[in-house]
Chain A
Amino acid sequence: MFNSRIFSIIRKEFLQIFRDPRTLAMIIIMPIMQLFLLGYAATTDVKNISMTVWDQSQTAQSRALLDAFRAADYFTLDYSVGSQEEYQKLIESGDTRVALVIPPDYDRRMIEGDAQVLMVLDGSDATVGATALSTARLVGQAYSTKILGEQALLSGRSKVPAAPVEVRTQVWYNPDLNSAFFNIPGVIGMILSFITSILTATTIVRERERGTIEQLIVTPIRSWELIAGKLLPYVILGFIETAEILLIGHWWFGVPIRGSGGLIVLTSGLFLMSSLGIGLFASTMANTQQEAMMTVMMFNLPMIFLSGFFFPIAAMPKFLQIVSYAIPLRYYLIIIRSLLIKGVGIVAIQSEVIALVVFGVVIMGAASLRFRKRLD
């Protein structure tokens, strides 16, 4: 199947890639940039939320509550204020996210057993808001339980009543819930789909844009040979990029590689087929490199958002969940996360692998049928 004509195209393609600094930079530097950006910046771990306190009680009890908040890493008690206007101003300016208001009668009501504190949250950033809310509740609950226990002791009861239900948690695979472990496999998927599809689409369209396609057309080379010769260099580059991200992810971010290397290569290859197919398909719809780029973006952006990379699919409306079944990145993300973090075997991911094969064959087939070795 491998013939010299395909090899000639591959050789030419690499010559051109190495002579085009822009493409080269895109291939080598972009993955690293995205990796570091998403590894660090796109962390969804919310920590050190700035908190403002208006302690109207100023008692040992109120200070004990504040200590409880301090003890959890999630909040830093940055400001102490004396009025509603003051904390309102701080929240409006964004200097603080959360305000904790302890009423003047806090200590008295606590003894009576119905103490209340007010927590005001800035909900404009939903992620931070949600984390602050749930953490505040947890801190409050834990603190209440502790107080109940202490009160029970004080009142001379020998037994400390525990909370009616206690949930003990065990986090598997990623006990620290390090979001880099979750993001970096996703970056591999994103980069493979973005860069390879953009590069293939533009490399094919460039022939049309610069007129070289006319010379190619009149050679006896067959369409499939032309497609194979055009795509194979990007398969190779795709694998190099995968390795690049994996190794940096492993050594720098400590992402584990628990599954078998063979499976990672195999499934990445299958996913590459899908994104190359999308690139090829886009190239049949565009006449300039710019158009090709836009077409690829049109495919890729919704794909990224619906793939489960940023937002969990389970939380999407039913309709979007159904749409996400048609997105190869969805399957690859499940596969690569399972392979890297869980270290599963082929059996655990077989349905996703089959889905990738089906998608790859369909998009490649459709694109190849659309690809004409003609000008019209």
Chain B
Amino acid sequence: MTNYLVQASNLHKNFGSVHAVNGVDLNVKSGEIYGLVGSDGAGKTTTMRLLVGALLPTQGEVSICGYDLQTHVELARSTIGYLSQRFSMYEDLTVLENIRFFAEIRGLSSSEWLPRSMEILEFVGLSNFKDRRAGQLSGGMKQKLGLASALVTRPRLLLLDEPTTGVDPVTRQDFWQLVIKLVSQSIPDSPPIFGENGGMPEGQGGGVSVIISTPYMDEASRCHRVGFMKAGKIIAEDTPSNLRARLNGRVLELRGNPINTLRHAAHQDQDVEDVAAFGDKLHVRIREGKSDLVIKRLSDQIKSVGATITELRVIPPALEDVFIALSESNHD
């Protein structure tokens, strides 16, 4: 029953009259990467902050690793590694000094912190920069430092709040490799996480869990499960493939010339819900079960206005299509 590392029920957070989080239930298993997606202002950061106890919920309960946040907040926090959206290391301290500081105040002794810090700096690839002031790191390196500092105490739960926003694609890729490596290696207690032979200790079910919020769909698709937030609620939650399956047969890819005419024509069709541009092609979302009808009607229509079609077919929906569809959907 308590296979869940994180259990949050009916979370609410009001800032004055604003309902930033409005009834969120969240359960995350051991070893799971849970993605929290949604547009800006959907309540992702507030949810994260509620989960780490940085904000007090207006209503609702959270337990982390079995510790109730209301009664055992410090115990719960000792199991958490948290990377906030805003860079929150000390810019005037060096990389190593930052890690040491956060390791020590999380209770690592002086004999423990150094080997472990070096191990983690190696892991995130910052060993060569250990004496550089944090303020002089690039954006991506700052995020890696944040991750390293969050990992130094070997948390069972890692909360990453938009860790890759504003980071270049290569570093984003790196960052994800780190997260995936973390989760696939099994976990804590005494054997080092990052060692070659980190075997699963007995009685310690599962690996590190990660809750990550992100505005990027390619990142969301790497998560085991994705919760889609809108207006303070999780309005859809499933595995990326199940989420995509919701739009099976409802996304057409349309290519041709001139693209504006194609777009206009698609918009005119009565069974088209939305048209989104993906580079030189259009994704046309249509009503359920109308694909054949729409393909026929649309190609006739486009030809009649003198435009050309190079491609018009049903494609497997991308998570982005689902994201857009959900963003536009009505909710209660």
Contacts and interface: CB of A to CB of B under 8 A. Distances in A.
A217 interface: yes
Interface in A210-269: 210-222
Given A8-B105, A12-B90, A374-B54, A214 B84 contact: yes
Nearest to A226: B105
Interface stretch (B70-78, B301-309, B321-329): B70-78
A11 B149 CA distance: 18
A217 B48 CA distance: 13
A222 B72 CA distance: 12
Interface in A1-38: 4-5, 8-9, 11-12, 15-16, 19-20
Interface in B80-127: 80, 82, 84, 86-93, 97, 100-102, 104-107, 109-110
Nearest to B110: A4
Contacts of A216: 105
Contact of A9 (B55, B105, B109): B105
Contacts of B88: 210-215
Contact of B74 (A213, A215, A222): A222
Interface residues of A, number: 26
B139 interface: no
B52 A20 contact: no
A154 interface: no
Contacts of B86: 211, 214
A341 B106 CA distance: 49
Contacts of B91: 210
Contact of B87 (A12, A15, A211): A211
B192 interface: no
A327 to B, nearest CB: 35
Given A20-B92, A217-B52, A217-B54, A211 B77 contact: no
Contacts of A218: 52-54, 77, 80, 82
A376 interface: yes
A220 B109 contact: no
A16 B55 contact: no
Nearest to A376: B55
Nearest to B81: A218
Nearest to A6: B105
B104 A8 contact: yes
A165 interface: no
Given A4-B109, A215-B84, A220 B74 contact: yes
Contact of A374 (B55, B90, B105): B55
Contacts of B110: 4
Contacts of A210: 88, 90-91
A375 interface: yes
B235 interface: no
B97 A220 contact: no
Contacts of B102: 215, 219
B145 to A, nearest CB: 11
Contacts of A376: 15, 55-56
B132 interface: no
Nearest to A5: B105
Q: Main secondary structure on chain B at its contact with chain A? A: loop
Chain B CB within 10 A, most for which of A9, A214, A218: A218
Contacts of A213: 88
A375 B55 contact: yes
Contacts of A212: 88-90
Contact of A5 (B82, B90, B100, B107): B107
Chain B CB within 10 A, most for which of A213, A216, A217, A221: A217
A145 B23 CA distance: 94
A211 B106 contact: no
A235 B52 CA distance: 32
Contacts of B89: 212, 215
Nearest to B58: A376
Nearest to B161: A214
Contacts of A220: 74-75, 77-78, 106-107
A19 B135 CA distance: 13
B255 interface: no
Given A4-B109, A9-B105, A15-B97, A215 B55 contact: no
A13 to B, nearest CB: 10
A8 B113 CA distance: 12
Contacts of A219: 77, 102, 105-106
A210 B78 CA distance: 23
B265 to A, nearest CB: 49
A222 to B, nearest CB: 7
Interface string B20-54: 00000000000000000000000000000100111
B93 A374 contact: no
A310 B89 CA distance: 44
Contacts of B105: 5, 8-9, 216, 219, 221
A8 B55 CA distance: 25
Contact of B93 (A5, A16, A222): A16
Contacts of B78: 220
Nearest to B90: A212
Interface string A365-376: 000000000111
A374 B53 contact: yes
Given A4-B109, A16-B93, 7 more contacts: A8-B105, A212-B88, A218-B54, A219-B105, A219-B106, A221-B106, A375-B54
20 contacts: A4-B110, A8-B104, A12-B93, A15-B97, A16-B90, A19-B92, A212-B90, A214-B49, A215-B82, A215-B84, A215-B89, A217-B52, A218-B52, A220-B74, A374-B54, A375-B54, A375-B55, A376-B15, A376-B55, A376-B56
Interface of B: 15, 49, 52-56, 74-75, 77-78, 80, 82, 84, 86-93, 97, 100-102, 104-107, 109-110, 149
User: Which 6 pairs across A and B sit closest by C-beta, in order of nearness?
Assistant: A8-B104, A211-B86, A215-B88, A220-B74, A218-B82, A214-B84
